[in-house]
């Protein structure tokens, strides 16, 4: 079975803190994605990566950056957390050319 | 631009059949996904349509009309565990890579 894991299920941070969200997949997938999910807005793509050290902006990249140093790991970084970044963050992965994305369990981040 | 429209909420009775509709407008369309998401959990893959027509998989079926920008998910013999949100997600992109754009989801409530 494909397994996508995220470093934390729940996280509480203060405004201005630097926040790291980690995602690891064990299926040798080329593509990895970071989404955030908010009520009434659905899942929105923040960043994605199709190879090691490659990254592309999604629909809402402002305030975020990413890092992919190894194929299995994709990190989302909030350089200076703000309250409007309180959300559920979901990581996903899939193989090159294949559609189905496999999701991690999500991290519910609260910024106070 | 990209636009996805699906009903916000639907209710149905155990054992019944329900159809969840989705209309979309997206550039570079190359397939449509349906995901199921239980409250507090990650989305899980249900179906993928590339060609027009009906794809059947057990109690769930999905239909696509590319020319009309329309899809539906059909759930038969409803069970209480089918209470969840159902996300319509058209894909777009070049060969070898596919981005998904998610609708806000349809929350299905199944009652006894």
pLDDT tens digits for A63-102? 999 999 999 999 999 999 999 999 999 999 998 776 789 9
A31 touches chain B (CB under 8 A): yes
> Cβ of B45 under 8 Å from any chain A Cβ?
yes
Collapsed DSSP state (helix, strand, coil) of residue B82 = helix
Q: Is A64 on the interface with B (CB under 8 A)?
A: no
Q: Are the C-beta atoms of residues B7 and B105 closer than 8 Å to each other?
A: no
Q: What's the DSSP call for residue A85?
A: G
Q: Which of B30, B49, B85, B98 to mutate to test the interface with A (most CBs of A within 10 A)?
A: B98
Give the pLDDT score at B27. 82
Identify the pLDDT of residue A100: 87
Question: What chain A residue is nearest to B92 in terms of C-alpha separation?
Answer: A99
CB B48 within 8 A of CB A99: yes
Q: What is the pLDDT of residues B46-61, one digit of tens each?
A: 999 999 999 999 999 9
Per the DSSP assignment, residues forming a β-bridge with A52 are: none
**Which tokens hold the place of B31?**
């397939």
Q: Which residue has the higher pLDDT, B97 or B102?
A: B102
C-alpha to C-alpha distance for A41 and A61, rounded to whole angstroms: 16
Q: Please work out, in degrees rounded to the nearest 5, the angle formed at the alpha carbon of residue B95 by the alpha carbons of B28 and A52.
A: 115
CB-nearest partner of A40 from B44, B101, B104? B104
Examine the pLDDT at B13 and tell me if it is beyond 70. yes
* Whether the Cβ atoms of residue B32 and residue B24 lie closer than 8 Å to each other: yes
Q: Tens of pLDDT along A5-23?
A: 999 999 999 999 999 999 9
The reported pLDDT for the residue numbered A2 is: 67
Tell me the shortest Cα–Cα distance from B79 to chain A, in angstroms: 24
Q: Which phi and psi (to 5°) does residue A100 adopt?
A: -60, 125
Using alpha carbons, select from B25, B31, B22 the residue that is nearest to residue B2.
B25
Q: How many CB atoms lie within 10 A of CB B6?
A: 21
CA dihedral A11, A72, A100, A107 (to 10 degrees): 0
């Amino acid at each position: 079975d494909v397994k996508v894991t995220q470093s934390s299920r729940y996280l509480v941070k203060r405004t201005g803190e630097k926040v790291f969200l980690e995602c690891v997949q064990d299926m040798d997938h080329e593509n990895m994605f970071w989404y955030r999910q908010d009520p009434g807005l659905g899942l929105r793509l923040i960043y994605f990566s199709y190879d090691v050290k490659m990254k592309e902006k999604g629909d809402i990249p402002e305030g975020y950056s990413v890092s992919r140093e190894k194929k299995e790991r994709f990190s989302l970084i909030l350089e200076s957390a703000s309250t409007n970044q309180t959300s559920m963050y979901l990581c996903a992965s899939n193989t090159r050319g294949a559609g189905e994305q496999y999701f991690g369990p999500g991290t519910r981040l609260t910024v106070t | 631009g990209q636009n996805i429209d699906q009903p916000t909420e639907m209710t149905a009775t155990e054992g019944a059949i329900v159809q969840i509709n989705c209309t979309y407008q997206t550039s570079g369309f190359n397939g449509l996904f349906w995901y199921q998401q239980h409250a507090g959990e990650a989305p899980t893959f249900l179906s993928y349509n590339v060609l027009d027509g009906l794809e059947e998989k057990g109690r769930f079926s999905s239909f696509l009309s590319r020319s009309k920008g329309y899809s539906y998910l059909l759930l038969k013999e409803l069970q209480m565990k089918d209470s969840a949100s159902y996300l319509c997600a058209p894909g777009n992109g070049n060969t070898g890579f596919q981005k998904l754009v998610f609708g806000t989801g349809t929350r299905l409530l199944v009652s006894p």
